[in-house]
Amino acid sequence: MSNHLLEVNNLKTSFFIPAGEVKAVDDVSFTLDKGEVLGIVGESGSGKSVTAYSIMQILSKPGEIVGGSVKFDNQELVGMSEAQLRKIRGAKISIIFQDPMTSLNPVYTVGNQIDEAIKLHTNLKGDQVHKKTIEILTQVGVNDPEKRAKQYPFEFSGGMLQRVMIAMALVCEPDILIADEPTTALDVTIQAQIMELMRELQKKLGMSIILITHDLGVVADMCDKIQVMYAGKIVERGTAKEIFYNPKHEYTKGLLKSIPSTQNKKKLIPIQGNPIDLLNIPKGCAFSPRCEQCMKICLEQYPAVKVFSETQQASCWMNVFKELKGSGTVE
Amino acid sequence: MNKKMLNYILKRFLLALFTIWIVITITFFIMHAVPGGPFLSEKAASPETTAALQAKYGLDKPILEQYFNYLSGVIKFDFGPSLKYKGITVTELIVTGFKTSAFIGGIAALIAILIGVFLGSIAAVNHKTKLDQAIMFFSTAFVALPSFITASILLLVFCVKLQWFPANGLTTKGLILPIISLSLSPMSYITRLTRSSTLDVMGQDYIRTAKAKGVNYWVIIFKHSLRNALTPVITYIGPMLASVLTGSLVVEKIFTVAGIGKYFVSSIVNRDYMMIMGTTIFLTTIVIIMLFLTDIMYKIVNPRVDLE
């Protein structure tokens, strides 16, 4: 028995395409406790969303979990029957997606879609369902909810739809909310509003959140802990403080350098190159072809996990190199 | 039903009248421009007899006068007498034939839609499996095969060899095979349309949302996916209904069904001027009604559609 709400161990998810096996998530382990906010950061194609879909077991073909386990509340989700999973999806673990404009069914009213979630997971009937829908819409800040519930998704703005998505995800009071790039498709002022709303609801309802984003700025003031993903692997993890003030992986450092700042007019330094081709992962560190500090060993061997504190770990040869340099073994 | 809707229906109605008028005019003049006439046959009648017949039906008058006479008849719903079948009006012929054609056509269309949509959905959710391939094989075959071949095969197998059904459509039991042969092609087409649009819809974000919400698989298919996937099917159903309801010459000939389909061809061969006009106006009206219903269906299925 573990005390963690969610425990992911050595999760491996692959996509089997004609060109070969794409290891989208490769040996990922982490835990999430009750009320905790975990940020998963990485660029496009690093396996963040696939990790989320693997937890929910909503991968679509040709994606497949090939190994590892996902334990929620000490129940194994990998290999669980669809009927049992349906009782967890939307009720215990909910997810909101990147693009609210396409994530709601265009031919049903917003109210109908929230009603559906309530009817699936509670015993409420008729008027009570409607009352609950209006209540949750009010809670996420939708004005005139009686009227809005009768409208179709195309009559809403993107920000309002994301509020609706959040309402739909939270209406059954789940233990975990997975937010898969919830603000990426929205404009900046709306992004701030949505993040504020999520923070507020998290305080009120006390659920755990897995916040997936490629924007370190978004996770900074919300997450208790952050893990950085690259090419399907977690390359560094730590508390928000450790990641921002004391990054230990070259990739994390690169990400931090590419955050624009309003205070000083320093030139933005992007990470060179493109995300790695997952069909052709280098033998050593997957980030090595783009890394400015790349050494010979980086190309040949995957760096072992180095533990810096109870919360911070990273897999980067530079740490080993610095240690050796410090002890005088190398110049 | 509000004012906007009434306006829309009124607009469509006026537009329909205009369309019918154009069709009448074009058909009328083309018909008369073609050499020959209803009373010419291999057994040449005496010029006096022909002239008398022409005078009786007003065919000796100037063409414009005939045109306006015909139009004023149409306004009073008088489509004139048949020039070929003596003593029967065009309206009577069409109504009698249409009763049979609409009956078997209606059932055939219903079967085509229900089974087509069902098979299409089944094929889509079993994408790339043996079942999908089998459904695709048969639907491709029945779309490609002309009706005279499928009808003949049905006749040969079920009437001649197995003797399960009578080979004519004079009894109710005898109508089963004509209904099947009428429905096979549209059913297969609807199967293919439903399959491809369902495949498209199943990859949409909102399907993933439904799944993440804990919605049952079949509810996802028949509630969340099907309604979105139906749009292309509805586009096809309008014209398909018009064509199936107005009968098929081939099917009616092969199974001896007393439908309306044969008149479309025979009236032209006979130069039965009144009948040509009657069947043309009839077909135009049916097509217009079906297209109107199609537009209404779009609105019902998809709330984003704005009828204007």
Place of tokens 């009124």: B10
What is residue A8's predicted lDDT score, i.e. its pLDDT?
A: 94
Give me B258's structure tokens: 């007393």
Regarding whether A150 and A238 lie in a shared domain, the answer is no
Residue A225 lies in a domain: yes
Nearest Cα of chain B lies from the Cα of A100 at a distance, in angstroms, of 9
Give me B151's structure tokens: 């009808």
Nearest Cα of chain B lies from the Cα of A95 at a distance, in angstroms, of 7
List, as ranges, residues 194-223 from B with C-beta within 8 Å of A. 203-206, 208-217
Supply the mean pLDDT for chain A: 89
Residue A225 binned pLDDT confidence (cut-offs 50, 70, 90): very high
Give me A303's structure tokens: 């760096």
Residue in A95, A105, A154 nearest the CB of B212: A95
> Is there a contact between A86 and B216 if contact means CB atoms under 8 Å apart?
yes
What is residue B41's predicted lDDT score, i.e. its pLDDT?
A: 65
- C-alpha to C-alpha distances, B282 to A8, B107, B304, nearest whole angstrom: 69, 20, 33
- Cβ neighbours of B303 in A, within 8 Å: 106-107, 152, 154
Structural domain span for residue A75: 6-92+174-261+270-326
Regarding whether A274 and A189 lie in a shared domain, the answer is yes
Supply the mean pLDDT for chain B: 87
Regarding whether A105 and A54 lie in a shared domain, the answer is no
Name the least confident of A61-75, A199-213, B28-42: B28-42
Q: Which helix (H) or strand (E) holds A37?
A: strand A37-41
- Cβ neighbours of A108 in B, within 8 Å: 224
**Does B45 score more than 80 pLDDT?**
no
Domain boundary among A173, A192, A207: A173
In sign, the C-alpha dihedral spanning A133, A138, A143, A144 is positive
What is residue B155's predicted lDDT score, i.e. its pLDDT?
A: 87
- Cβ neighbours of A174 in B, within 8 Å: none
% of chain A residues with pLDDT over 90:
55
Closest chain A residue by Cα to residue B214: A86
**Does A44 score more than 80 pLDDT?**
yes
Closest chain A residue by Cα to residue B212: A89
What is residue B247's predicted lDDT score, i.e. its pLDDT?
A: 80
- Cβ neighbours of A82 in B, within 8 Å: 217
The answer to whether the beta carbons of residues A177 and A170 sit under 8 Å apart is yes
Q: For chain A, what is the domain count? A: 2
Which positions ≥6 away from B48 have C-beta within 8 Å? none
Residue A1 binned pLDDT confidence (cut-offs 50, 70, 90): low
Name the least confident of A208-217, A270-279, B18-27, B150-159: A270-279
Domains in chain B (CATH in brackets) are 1-308 (1.10.3720.10)
Query: Is A237 strand, coil or helix?
Result: strand
Burial of residue A117, with CB atoms counted within 10 A of its CB: 0-12 exposed, 13-18 middle, 19 or more buried: buried
What is the complex's ipTM, to 2 decimals? Answer: 0.88
Regarding whether A298 and A191 lie in a shared domain, the answer is yes
- Cβ neighbours of A152 in B, within 8 Å: 303-304
Q: Can you tell me the distance from the alpha carbon of B182 to that of A261, in angstroms, rounded to the nearest whole number? A: 70
Nearest Cα of chain A lies from the Cα of B112 at a distance, in angstroms, of 25
Average pLDDT over residues A153-157: 93
Residue B93 binned pLDDT confidence (cut-offs 50, 70, 90): confident
The answer to whether the beta carbons of residues A178 and A55 sit under 8 Å apart is yes
What is residue A2's predicted lDDT score, i.e. its pLDDT?
A: 67
Regarding whether A142 and A56 lie in a shared domain, the answer is no
Domain boundary among A113, A148, A173: A173
What is residue B42's predicted lDDT score, i.e. its pLDDT?
A: 60
What is residue B175's predicted lDDT score, i.e. its pLDDT?
A: 85
Establish if A209 touches chain B: CB-CB under 8 angstroms.
Answer: no
Phi first, then psi: what are they for A155, rounded to 5°?
Answer: -95, 5
List, as ranges, residues 45-74 from A with C-beta within 8 Å of B. 56, 58, 60
Residue A1 lies in a domain: no
Residue A331 binned pLDDT confidence (cut-offs 50, 70, 90): low
> Is there a contact between A107 and B301 if contact means CB atoms under 8 Å apart?
yes
Residue A184 binned pLDDT confidence (cut-offs 50, 70, 90): confident
- The 3-class SS string of A88-146 reads HECCCEEEECCCHHHHCCCCCCHHHHHHHHHHHHCCCCHHHHHHHHHHHHHHCCCCCHH
Q: What is the Cα A182 distance to its own chain's centre? A: 9
**Does B264 score more than 90 pLDDT?**
no
What is residue B263's predicted lDDT score, i.e. its pLDDT?
A: 84
Q: Can you tell me the distance from the alpha carbon of A107 to that of B207, in angstroms, rounded to the nearest whole number? A: 12
Nearest Cα of chain A lies from the Cα of B302 at a distance, in angstroms, of 6
Strands A37-41 and A20-32: unpaired
- Cβ neighbours of A106 in B, within 8 Å: 206, 228, 302-304
**Does A129 score more than 90 pLDDT?**
yes
The answer to whether the beta carbons of residues B222 and A72 sit under 8 Å apart is no
Q: Which helix (H) or strand (E) holds A53?
A: helix A48-56
Nearest Cα of chain B lies from the Cα of A56 at a distance, in angstroms, of 7
**Does A89 score more than 90 pLDDT?**
yes
What is residue B43's predicted lDDT score, i.e. its pLDDT?
A: 65
Regarding whether A198 and A52 lie in a shared domain, the answer is yes
Residue in A86, A89, A102 nearest the CB of B205: A102
Q: What is the interface size between A and B, counted as CB pairs within 8 Å?
A: 68
- Here the CATH number for the domain that contains residue A276 is 3.40.50.300
> What's the whole-model pTM score?
0.82
Residue B86 binned pLDDT confidence (cut-offs 50, 70, 90): confident
pLDDT digits (tens, 9 = 90+) for B152-210: 898 888 888 888 887 776 777 778 888 998 999 999 999 999 999 999 999 899 999 99
Domain boundary among A173, A202, A218: A173
Place of tokens 């130069």: B271
> Is there a contact between B304 and A168 if contact means CB atoms under 8 Å apart?
no
Q: Can you tell me the distance from the alpha carbon of B184 to that of A275, in angstroms, rounded to the nearest whole number? A: 52
Name the least confident of A284-293, B34-43, B137-146, B248-257: B34-43
Regarding whether A169 and A186 lie in a shared domain, the answer is no
Closest chain B residue by Cα to residue A178: B212
> Is there a contact between B302 and A107 if contact means CB atoms under 8 Å apart?
yes
**Does B37 score more than 80 pLDDT?**
no
Average pLDDT over residues A155-163: 93
Which positions ≥6 away from A203 have C-beta within 8 Å? none
Q: Which helix (H) or strand (E) holds A84?
A: helix A82-88
**Does A151 score more than 80 pLDDT?**
yes
Between B208 and A319, where is the model more confident?
B208
Q: Which of B257, B301, B73 is nearest to B151 (CA)?
A: B257
Regarding whether A151 and A32 lie in a shared domain, the answer is no
Regarding whether A183 and A275 lie in a shared domain, the answer is yes
What is residue B36's predicted lDDT score, i.e. its pLDDT?
A: 75
> Is there a contact between B213 and A116 if contact means CB atoms under 8 Å apart?
yes
Which range among A38-42, A255-259, A265-269, B160-164 has the greatest average pLDDT?
A38-42
Residue A331 lies in a domain: no
Helix residue ranges per DSSP H, chain B: 3-33, 47-56, 63-75, 90-125, 130-144, 147-154, 176-202, 205-212, 217-219, 226-245, 249-255, 261-269, 273-301
Nearest Cα of chain B lies from the Cα of A79 at a distance, in angstroms, of 16
Residue A113 binned pLDDT confidence (cut-offs 50, 70, 90): very high
Regarding whether A71 and A184 lie in a shared domain, the answer is yes
Strands A63-72 and A6-17: antiparallel
- Cβ neighbours of B301 in A, within 8 Å: 107
What is residue A269's predicted lDDT score, i.e. its pLDDT?
A: 82
Q: Which of B281, B284, B283, B305 is nearest to B294 (CA)?
A: B305
What is residue A45's predicted lDDT score, i.e. its pLDDT?
A: 83
Average pLDDT over residues A1-19: 89
Regarding whether A188 and A85 lie in a shared domain, the answer is yes
Average pLDDT over residues B264-268: 84
Residue A271 binned pLDDT confidence (cut-offs 50, 70, 90): confident
